[in-house]
Structure 1
Amino acid sequence: MRRIVIALLGVSLLAGGCGTIQPERTGAIVGGAAIGSNVGGAIGGLVGDSRHGWRGSYRGSAIGSIIGTLAGAAIGGALTAPKSREAEGNPQGYPAERPVEEVYTEPYNTSSALSALYIRNLRFIDESRDHILNGGESSKIIFEIMNEGSETAYNVIPSVTEISGVKQIHISPSILVEQILPGNGVKYTATVSVGKRVKNGTATFRIAVTDTHGQIYDRQEFTLETAR
């Protein structure tokens, strides 16, 4: 009996030795110890009795109670142990997700990859087919960007701009071409709309191939008449 009392005192110290242990965890430890003591004592008594009679039963019950007390307390404490923040936020144990900026990196372009791009088959098509930008008319500028190098060019921007400052001319915004493989190309079409109040004169257009930083790698320019 003295050994049982000592074991229970040890469990109490385990349950109360840390001031941050929650009450429900303390109750689970003590409850587990009590259940373990009863089960251990019963099993120990049966085993002792089968081997050494009533004295063996008494001794086996005492030893079983001590072992059951410690085992029950350990199990109760483990079941109620607080989980870490990482485990609570990631119950399946999968690797934690990283921010997008840490995962994505823009493909690297060498200078030779972009320098190998060139413009070809430049065409201008207007509604009247007279190659004049008439007021209220819509037209198209079409060209191809080819990659004659041995490396893939990434994040290519076809650019069409009016550089002479003529008003009433509106050009569709540029798009991003994710990649152009070696020996391949893309066809690009820009829409040009002319306002009805355009003045008679000329407009100069620049067709260019740029990267995401605006660096130009190939360009062509041409001039068209404007008419009200």
Structure 2
Amino acid sequence: MKKCFVGFLALVAVCSGCGTSQMASGDPGAIFAGAAIGGNVGGAIGGLIGDNNGGWRGGYRGSAIGTIIGTIAGAAIGNAVSAPKQEEYSYRIERTETCKPKPEAYPAPSVFDNLRIRNIRFIDDDRDHIITSGESSKVIFEIMNEGNQTIYNVVPMVTEITGMKRIYISPPVMVEQIAPRNGVKYTANISAGDRIKTGDITIRVAVADGNGQQYDWQEFSLSTRR
């Protein structure tokens, strides 16, 4: 009974500390479970060590100390396992209305019609969402195949369509294939040369076939600063 009370006090101390620290991000259930298991294991090991060194009194003290240490360690492990992972800070581009070329541009249906662009992110070096002279940034997005056939030779495209000078975007890399109901994540690097103009640019994110025909795209604006 006393051993359980010692473990309870240790657990209360751990949880009260969590309330004011970053450790509190884990699942409370996992933290309590880890603390209970750690307390039991620590108490058992501490008791055996204490018995060998100081008889039953040493065993009792060893068990109490082991319970405290095991409870704290178990709670920490439970928290670490269940804590959510922080995503890289980025500027999320909200999807606008679906953009499609005019029907006369490709009258025949194509499997590429099933490709969709999702989850666009823009990340720049200083995280202010403004492209400044000499700064590097990147656009990250997903291309999903919502159809029932594998689509081959998919070309992700990122272009600057306002004609701003000294904005450099990495060339597209063809994706060999995207299976049905699957997708790929693509990253394009953007770098700004020295002395770019202060203003606004428009970035187009698109998906095309091997001939350059675009089937889904989105556009968003970013500010630039010299």
2:114 equivalent in structure 1: 116
Letter in 2 for 1:165: G
State the 1:196 CA deviation.
Answer: 1.4
| SS of structure 2 residue aligned to 1:212 | coil
Amino acid at match of 2:216: D
1:165 paired residue among 158, 163, 166: 163
1:181 maps onto 2:140 in alignment = no
TM-score by length of 1: 0.51
Q: Structure 1 residue 119: deviation in Å?
A: 0.2
Q: Distance in 1 between matches of 2:184 and 2:133?
A: 31
The correspondence of residues 23-172 of structure 1 with structure 2, limited to 5 A, is 111-172=109-170
Structure 1 residue 214: deviation in Å?
1.0
CA distance in 2, matches of 1:172, 1:152: 26
Q: What's the CA shift for 1:111? A: 3.7
Q: CA shift at 1:157, angstroms?
A: 0.0
Q: CA deviation at 1:156?
A: 0.4
Q: Secondary structure of 2:156's partner?
A: strand
Give the secondary structure class of the aligned counterpart of 1:140. strand
Per-residue CA deviations over 1:180-202 (Å, capped at 9, x if unaligned) read 00000000000000011101001
* Paired residues of 1:112 and 1:149 also in contact (CA < 8 A): no
Shift, 1:122, TM fit: 0.2
Please state whether the residue corresponding to 1:204 is helix, strand or coil: strand
The one-letter code of the counterpart of 1:156 is V
- For residues 45-95 of structure 1, give each alpha carbon's deviation from its aligned partner in whole angstroms, at most 9, with x where no partner exists: xxxxxxxxxxxxxxxxxxxxxxxxxxxxxxxxxxxxxxxxxxxxxxxxxxx
Unaligned regions of 5+ residues in structure 2, if any?
Answer: 1-107
Provide the residue aligned with 1:220 in structure 2.
218
5+ residue gaps, structure 1 = 1-109
Alignment equivalent of 1:209, drawn from 207, 210, 220: 207
How far, CA to CA, are the matches of 1:213 and 1:190 in structure 2? Answer: 20
The one-letter code of the counterpart of 2:142 is E
Equivalent residues in 2 for 1:2-13, closer than 5 Å: none
Taking the aligned partners of 1:149 and 1:216, their CA distance within structure 2 comes to 17
SS in 2 for 1:128: coil
Residue 54 of structure 1 corresponds to none
Q: List structure 1 runs of 4+ shifted beyond 4 angstroms.
A: none
State the distance in 1 between where 2:117 and 2:147 align. Answer: 14
